[in-house]
Amino acid sequence: MNRPLLVRLVIGFVNFWKDFLVGDTPELFWATLVIIAAVFGVSRELHWHAVAVVMTPLLVSGALLTSMRRVWRKK
């Protein structure tokens, strides 16, 4: 049974963005969301802007190293 055109377009749109954002490494996608939320919370709620500036590259580096370690273990 063929789906209506609108349903196919919506499914295609969702699949494109899921593949574009998540891709091959879903852990980096989730890490990005967690980092953004943490930096937003520290900066907006606690008003610790300097801490947020220092915290961002540290969290990003940690997420990348964790992802790279997972790949190295597979080899």
Split at pLDDT 50, 70, 90, the class of 29 is very high
Average pLDDT over residues 62-71: 91
Over the range 46-70, which residues count as b (16 or more CB within 10 Å of their CB) and which as e?
eeeeeebeebbeebeeebeeeeeee
Split at pLDDT 50, 70, 90, the class of 43 is very high
Token pair 């996608």 is at which residue? 29
This prediction has a pTM of: 0.77
Task: Report yes or no: 63 and 33 within 8 Å, Cβ to Cβ.
Answer: no
